[in-house]
């Protein structure tokens, strides 16, 4: 679990939830600095969501596990629609925001600790580009096997990602090449989050194209059924259990 000083993301969204907060800073391990999209995105009403996210919610059925639930907007939407939703996040303050907004079942937990001990599910959801939490190909396949054991015969994964190749930013293109030279996937970034005096630990975050998603799923007893793209660079993979 993150310490309070490491919970940069949690402090950002909790401050915004209370009285409006600032922006997170994303620091990459090559020294590249960028500003996050702002905490308001984690509190958008359904009508304000990108069309790809609204379309993706149609595939959620039964009991849902929301991995990296953040402020809980996807989980709360599904809960209001009558589904039983369990939200997990490694940020204690993110879970506090979820609870204060009315999410009935939520836990401070990193993705690596998910197991049948927290339940079995019909749908596993990784929105907010949170397929990236798999970090690397080896861990992705390990987690996909865990997800297989945690889901019923007709399980689904709804996983949002970003195609790293849809950029002409020379700094990103150079980083892709740097990754490939080190034996990493091009979209495997190592970053940390800063907000005011709070700094997260360094962590890997994996962004993949459709073809790379297909390759990661190969041999895992999951198959890609749909790939929902949007105009802002993100895509949602709809993945069905075999």
241: DSSP letter: E
Least confident of 33-42, 86-95, 154-163, 228-237: 228-237
Mean pLDDT of the region 123-147: 98
Number of Cβ atoms within 10 Å of the Cβ of 180? 12
User: Is the backbone of residue 126 left (phi > 0), alpha (psi -120 to 50) or beta?
Assistant: beta
Residue 233: pLDDT band (50, 70, 90) is confident
pLDDT tens across 178-216, in order?
A: 999 999 999 999 999 999 999 999 999 999 999 999 999
Q: Kindly state the helix (H) or strand (E) to which residue 224 belongs, with its residue range.
A: strand 222-229
Rounded Cα distance between 85 and 138, Å, is 28
Segment 132-138 mean pLDDT: 98
Structural domains for the chain: 4-241 (3.40.50.150)
Please say whether the beta carbons of 221 and 242 come within 8 A: yes
pTM of the entire predicted model? 0.96
What was the pLDDT predicted at 178? 98
Interacting residues of 158 by C-beta distance below 8 A, sequence separation 6+: 56, 57, 59, 60, 123, 124, 125, 126, 127, 236, 237, 238, 239
The predicted structure's pLDDT at residue 89: 98
């Amino acid at each position: 679990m993150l310490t309070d000083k490491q919970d940069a993301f949690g402090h950002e969204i909790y401050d915004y939830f209370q009285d409006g907060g600032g922006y997170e800073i994303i620091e990459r391990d090559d020294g590249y600095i960028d500003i996050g999209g702002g905490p308001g995105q984690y509190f958008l009403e359904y009508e304000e969501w990108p069309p790809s996210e609204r379309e993706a919610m149609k595939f959620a059925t039964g009991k849902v596990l929301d991995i990296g639930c953040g402020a809980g907007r996807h989980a709360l939407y599904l809960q209001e629609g009558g589904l039983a939703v369990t939200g997990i996040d490694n940020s204690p303050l993110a879970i506090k925001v979820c609870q204060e907004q009315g999410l009935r079942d939520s836990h401070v937990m990193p993705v690596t600790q998910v197991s049948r001990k927290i339940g079995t599910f019909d749908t596993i959801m990784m929105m907010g580009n949170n397929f990236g939490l798999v970090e690397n190909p080896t861990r992705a396949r390990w987690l996909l096997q865990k997800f297989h054991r945690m889901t019923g015969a007709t399980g689904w994964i709804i996983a949002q990602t970003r195609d790293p190749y849809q950029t002409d930013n020379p700094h990103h293109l150079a980083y892709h090449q740097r990754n490939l030279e080190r034996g990493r996937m091009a979209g495997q970034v190592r970053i940390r989050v800063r907000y005011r005096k709070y700094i997260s630990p360094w962590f890997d975050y994996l962004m993949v194209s459709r073809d790379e998603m297909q390759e990661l799923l190969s041999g895992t007893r999951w198959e890609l059924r749909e790939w929902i793209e949007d105009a802002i660079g993100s895509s949602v993979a709809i993945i069905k259990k075999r």
